[in-house]
Structure 1
């Protein structure tokens, strides 16, 4: 077992936290301050019964909206479920959502989230409402207070995301803030493979009426994982601050994440002439030992909100990120039923520079018997990406999926694009938008009608990898409207409908053996119709929705990536959450999907027809502080190629856990244990994610993680 190498900063934060707790005096809190991710007057929506999800969440320029008042289907996961399930990343959190399945980016280890059968790339997630600010491939859960999932097209609500997502849904991540009560937590743990874990979470409020809040998080993971010969190192540091003045509010965040993988298990491609082969042993690793993936990101945000005369509120926000990535990847292609493969080496380096901002105003008024909630905003986004890549001989080298063969790293100088030591600018994306919305209330707010539109202008420029010369560009604008209605026949029931559009940034041709590498495609619009109903008893919540979405689709034909035909996804969603009886918490649901290529009538790559989640958390009677939990995930068959001749089997996974809160030496201590994939099932978890490709990602093996959290 590897020993956990603790960074000096993590140790220093822990030591400072303990000292601060021992010497701090109890503040007199004459102003009530709740944890609010944006230091807004609205505050953070309260948790629903059971504490696993929230009563509402942020809907872009509309602000925080209660789940019963929005014409969309949303779920907002809280810090409570993040901690109790010992989630490592956003992917672990959204595993609770029946409309979401995690996949992987093409040719890397990027977390990718399929919502309603459409990809949401990790760099399309918003950080407190702003795009492009968080690390591209992996976002550590310790940065987050909440994970808000909006299902459905959302370009009006949040603007067009920078990475071609936003059609099936969006994910907004909220940073942590200091609450009234001082917090000093230290968590240590270990998981299968010997990976160690240490985290500190410290917050205080200072000054007159405790107006200034500071929260510091430091995280370190280091060691092998449950996959044979795979190791991970993660360092995260984040500071969140807020100030609540008289008539104005400020907040700021700065963070750094360093994430490195060595010998990580790669994606697998199966030759199109073969059926899908059986997945290897659950902990088997067919990676070459010299493969590597590293990502370092530093990011920050600043947000301000001010109260204006007449009850209006204005806000402004800006953010920046600088990111560096370096990868040495070798992914196998299966060429025979016995698991024989060919592998090549692919290296790439990437540098990102992102700047984004938003301003807006929101107010409420009445015209006769009709209430109005008016919102308007303007946003801007600017990103530059420098890239270079290098490949080995396309003939590759042999190995076997079931009996991997290690080879010396081949030269990657056979085919290159740009200078790996000095990558040039290869892509620039500039986006701007103006949006306006009005939510009209009729019949004492029993009927809510939301109408609005966002005009968005996208500029995308491509440059030659070797010379930096421009080789592709477009500048296009589009108006994306929205219309939604909510009707509440009784207090506990909402019926809703919406029409929404998604403006999707055109893709960039990329991948191995693509002859038009780097070609930039123009943006296109997707259209969604949805109707649904929601129920809220105060203790148990339920929702159901029927939707259909269509969009142009990308594919690879004769080694050339292009926009060919269209994709139509339609389906039904049902969700349940809350605490129907004391001590029992439920979270889960069912999604039925039909994703079709309209030109051929075939099913779309990587979209299962059935996704089922069943989760329960139970307080054990007679044992104060002890809770047991279990979760079952079911995913039906899915196709891995456009012709539908390759099909992944369905899979079912069982996860269990236990949490025990006790007092030890006059301290609150929380002990947690969790086993994911209890039966150690071997299975292909997903196919594809990037348009036109059906690469396979194997599900993780059985993994045991235990930790202890001490409140000082």
Structure 2
């Protein structure tokens, strides 16, 4: 592990390693070869369905099959347990497929998760960083996993083009996936990279987004050798131009090389990727409106408060991941993985945060600070485990033993302007502050997280009753704080199928884990670091499959410790408790008609507070009612034509902890259409998507007490996908 560098210049100084050149070469080679692919079109063109690999027979490392309708898979990865079918999972999980992602033209993970009623963003759409809440608790941008391992996914703003699946596990996932770098406990978001399927694939997708952002994505996959054991898949993306935010331009460069080799009783796979985002002339607005008794009207979502010719932000990630497994004998398999990722950012990263006071309610005048920041973080991970199946009498066991380590280090520096005065509704350009070299570098992290896990799933009565028991010992070593502590978290999960495979009753008790917080000034116990603290979840639910439709209803309670103040000291003696009910649905309700989404109702309470202030009141920033429900309809009588729509609703939520000000609820509608046709022998799919159809001006969410995110305006995206 290399130590974090301390740059002396204000420019983007991250030293890219060889992966970047490899991945960027993949992107440029793909795009340069598009003309050759067009000239060599096959006489029988492949289908436009996304290509996936499904091993037979199914194993914990097999990619679960796609459910009817194509938008969701029939299973998801549960960390060290591998892939588990929906009906055999004692959790609420959803796995979004590449096919559904392509049809919705979702370019970031945040856009994909707009399908889930239990997920909301705490940064606005179009922000440089995508942060989330799941079941009312934070899940930050650096808490995404790849194949069940944290620390290796792109941070800040993660693209979809290199992934086959985007999976959501609701509730704490420390038992299965370890401790995320930020200690988030609301849920886990896992990403599954694309692999070469059995059929050759050469696909080029061109896109246009308003105002004039254009791009091209090339996706090529082949298998080689007499038995097609070696697979190669390469994805490359180049895009750039103006966006729906006034004055702003964005540029993306993505390169992903995926290799796999399927040996006799063993397999190995590798991913190398590079991602660069360059944003110019401003970012989305996050006003601070503390002190108001009512929420002011929202500005148009396209308003760019801090814009200017020299305003910029850059984010960059390179990663390398290797995974493998080997069958030891009948029923026993060893698995291992290792990876390294490097995350860098530079410029105006953390959003536009104008302070809008009540005194300027009518004028819209506001002040704020623009920051020029620099940061660099590196992550190295390794995992080693063993899976086995055996029986003891009439009981079947699936046992998993695993050990893993995550090394996370880095720091940042930043420099801000003096207060800038502008106008919320009619802003004026600004000058970017001096570069990062004008400030002091601070190293924030040098952490080593290690864990040992044992999980056993016991099956009774021909799998009609499944009991999952697990323990994880997690050690947190924060070297900068000279702090090392260990905690043990349990898992109990039950799945019962008393009436056959189409109905599952499930329940779980699981604990999440967060690294201990270090107290900061001005408290008397400044520098004290608390032991890792545990979040408890209890959940029960039912899943049922009727024909081609699968539904889930869940009841849950999550209790999370929090810091409170007493006698000028911070103590780990507070608590937030969220209780809720969720309904999820996916699949085909009738021939050609697919449903996806659901609704959630969450009550978030402040159950233990400083000196009893706000005791028993609702937690701010957690809406009670959320709904996302979409339908996709293949038009009868017109082959290849389909239309879809989705309703997105977020109910009212408290803006402050004292429950004195409410942020109004909002509803938007997204619509899209696609048409699959052939031009000669060439399969082509044309897609059009419009989000926020009515161009509603609204506040999307909250990122802190009295701090709101402006919702995105109407946006149009067009694309054409060609298979050769």
TM-score (norm 1): 0.90
Secondary structure in structure 2 of the residue aligned to 1:123: helix
- Which residue of 173, 191, 196 maps to 1:178? 196
Q: CA deviation at 1:198?
A: 0.7
> 1:656/1:24 Cα in 2 relative to 1: closer, same or farther (>3 Å)?
closer
Q: Does 1:398 align with 2:425?
A: no
Please say if residues 653 and 662 of structure 2, whose CA atoms lie closer than 8 Å, have aligned partners that are also in contact: yes
Q: CA deviation at 1:552?
A: 1.5
Question: Alpha-carbon deviation of 1:699?
Answer: 1.1
2-structure distance, mates of 1:23, 1:209: 24
For residues 24 and 206 of structure 1, the distance between their equivalents in structure 2, rounded to whole angstroms, comes to 18
- 1:335–1:342 CA contact under 8 A, matched in 2: no
SS of 1:140's partner is coil
Question: Where does residue 625 of structure 1 map in the other structure?
Answer: 640
Out of 59, 64, 77, the residue aligned to residue 58 of structure 1 is 77
Specify the alignment match of 2:343 in structure 1: 323
Task: State the match for 2:452 in structure 1.
Answer: 434
State the match for 1:228 in structure 2. 246
Q: Which residue of 2 aligns with 1:705?
A: 717
The Cα shift of 1:275 comes to 3.3
- The alpha-carbon deviation at position 294 of structure 1 amounts to 1.1
Residue in 2 that maps onto 1:29: none
Q: How does 1:25-424 map to 2 (within 5 A)?
A: 35=53, 42-104=61-123, 109-165=128-184, 167-262=185-280, 263-289=282-308, 290-328=310-348, 330-336=352-358, 337-338=361-362, 339-393=364-418, 396-409=419-432, 418=440, 423=441
Give the equivalent residue in structure 2 for 1:530.
Answer: 539
Cross-structure match for 2:603: 594
- The alpha-carbon deviation at position 365 of structure 1 amounts to 1.0
SS at match of 2:131: strand
Q: 1:68 to 1:44 in 2, by over 3 A?
A: same
Runs (5+) with no aligned partner, structure 1: 1-6, 27-32, 463-471
Greater CA deviation, 250-259 or 646-655? 646-655
Q: Distance in 2 between matches of 1:107 and 1:662?
A: 32
Residue deviations 1:399-439 (CA, integer Å, cap 9, x gap): 221222334445689x9751xxxx45332111000000111
> How far is 1:16 from its partner?
3.2
1:261 offset after TM fit, Å? 1.7
- Written as runs of structure 1 = structure 2, the 5 A alignment for 1:380-529 is 380-393=405-418, 396-409=419-432, 418=440, 423=441, 425-462=443-480, 472-491=481-500, 492-507=502-517, 522-529=531-538
Comparing 84-93 with 634-643, greater Cα deviation is found at 634-643
- Cα pair 1:156 1:482 within 8 Å, conserved: yes
- Give a deviation string over 1:655-707, Cα, whole Å, max 9, x none: 0000110000210000000000000001111101xxx5442111111001101
Distance in 1, Cα, partners of 2:354 & 2:126: 11
Structure 2 CA distance for aligned equivalents of residues 193 and 508 of structure 1: 45
In the aligned structure 2, how far is the partner of 1:254 from the partner of 1:416? 34
Q: Give the counterpart of 1:687 among 699, 702, 708.
A: 702
* Farther-moved stretch of structure 1 (190-199 vs 423-432): 423-432
Question: Which stretch shifts more, 90-99 or 104-113?
Answer: 104-113
**CA RMSD in angstroms, aligned pairs only:** 3.0
Q: Write out per-residue CA displacement over residues 61-89 of structure 1, whole angstroms, 9 at most, x where no aligned residue.
A: 11111111111111111111110000010
Matches within 5 A, 1:527-566: 527-553=536-562, 565-566=574-575
Gaps of 5+ in 2: 1-23, 45-50, 610-614
Shift of 1:285: 1.8
Per the alignment, do residues 220 and 573 of structure 1 end up closer, same or farther by CA in structure 2, a change over 3 Å counting? Answer: same
Partner in structure 1 of residue 708 of structure 2: 696
Which of 3, 11, 16 is the matching residue for 2:33? Answer: 16
Deviation at 1:557, TM superposition (A): 11
Contact map agreement 2:593 2:634 (CA 8 A) in 1: yes
Q: 1:409 to 1:40 in 2, by over 3 A?
A: same
Correspondence for 2:670: 655
CA offset at residue 281 of structure 1? 1.6
Deviations 1:108-167 (A, max 9, x none): 7310121100111121110111111122101111011000101111111111111121x2
Structure 1 residue 346: Cα displacement: 2.1
Deviation at 1:353, TM superposition (A): 1.2
Describe the SS at the equivalent of 2:33. Answer: helix
Distance in 1, Cα, partners of 2:367 & 2:549? 52
Please say if residues 236 and 255 of structure 1, whose CA atoms lie closer than 8 Å, have aligned partners that are also in contact.
Answer: yes
Q: Which residue of the partner structure matches residue 4 of structure 1? A: none
What is the deviation of 1:606?
A: 1.2
Q: How high is the TM-score relative to the length of structure 2?
A: 0.89
Q: Deviations 1:359-400 (Å, cap 9, x if unpaired)?
A: 11111111111111111100100011121122334xx12222
Residue in 1 that maps onto 2:11 = none
Q: Deviations for 1:466-521, whole angstroms, at most 9, x for unmatched residues?
A: xxxxxx3421111000101111121211111110000012457899x999999966
Q: Residue 381 and residue 25 in structure 1: after superposition, are their counterparts in 2 closer, same or farther (change >3 A)?
A: farther
Give SS of 2:31's match: helix
Contact 1:272/1:641 (8 A) holds in 2 = no
Query: How many residues in Structure 1 have an aligned counterpart in Structure 2?
Result: 680
Please tell me whether the aligned partners of residues 105 and 121 of structure 1 are also in contact (alpha carbons under 8 angstroms).
Answer: no
Per-residue Cα deviation, 1:253-290 (whole angstroms, up to 9, x for no partner): 00000012221123221123553221102322212324
The answer to whether the 8 Å contact 2:632/2:642 transfers is yes
Residue 444 to residue 43, structure 1, CA distance change in 2 (3 Å): same
Report the alpha carbon displacement of residue 197 of structure 1 after superposing the two structures with TM.
1.4
Following superposition, the deviation at residue 601 of structure 1 comes to 1.6
Q: CA contact under 8 A between 2:124 and 2:711: conserved in structure 1?
A: no
